[in-house]
């Protein structure tokens, strides 16, 4: 593994632990040259998943894009990186276990909402406001009512 700080090619693993129901391994590494520490994730490679967008375009599933959307919803909230990583793992695992190779973006959005509802209600409403394209206060109130009733 190449050090992201100095580019040296030798690092040592300080800690290794399974994450995401054992589908990934998180490794804490240290550069043998500069001493910089960083985290890597190891996952097995699987068949590709395609996403069908609202306008009918198809694109490859992008784990980082999914994570970025969840991180944005969780900004300035007490949600850890591990919790976000676990949410993304749960969503991706559910997609892969379904046996399907294509999913509508709305299906992914629903899965994100399910995960956020369990972790942080404010992040849930933030994500819902973008995902459901709220146009007025009534839309927000409806999402909050839905959250309270669940």
What pLDDT, on a 0 to 100 scale, did the predictor assign at position 62?
95
Q: Locate the domains of the chain by residue range.
A: 1-45, 49-149
DSSP 12-32: EEEEEEEETTTTEEEEEEEET
How far, in Å, CA of 131 to CA of 105, rounded?
A: 10
The answer to whether 30 and 37 have CB atoms below 8 angstroms apart is: yes
Provide the whole-model pTM.
0.65
Residues of the chain with pLDDT under 50: none
Sheet architecture: strand order including 11-19? 11-19, 24-31, 37-43
Give the torsion sign (CA, 111, 74, 49, 21). negative
What pLDDT, on a 0 to 100 scale, did the predictor assign at position 108?
95
What pLDDT, on a 0 to 100 scale, did the predictor assign at position 130?
83
What pLDDT, on a 0 to 100 scale, did the predictor assign at position 94?
93
């Amino acid at each position: 593994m190449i050090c992201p700080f100095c580019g040296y090619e030798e690092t040592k693993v300080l800690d290794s632990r399974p994450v995401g129901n054992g589908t990934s391994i998180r490794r804490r590494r240290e550069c043998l040259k500069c001493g910089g520490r960083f985290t890597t994730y190891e996952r097995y490679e699987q068949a590709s998943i395609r996403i069908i967008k609202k306008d009918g375009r198809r694109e490859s599933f992008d784990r980082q894009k999914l994570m970025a959307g969840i991180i944005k919803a969780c900004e300035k909230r007490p949600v850890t990186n591990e919790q976000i990583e676990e949410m993304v793992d749960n969503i991706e695992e559910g997609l892969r276990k379904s046996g399907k190779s294509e999913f509508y973006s709305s299906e992914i959005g629903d899965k994100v909402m399910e995960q956020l509802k369990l972790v942080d209600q404010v992040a849930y409403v933030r994500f819902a406001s973008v995902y459901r394209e709220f146009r007025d206060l009534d839309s927000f109130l409806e999402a909050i009512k839905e959250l309270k009733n669940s």
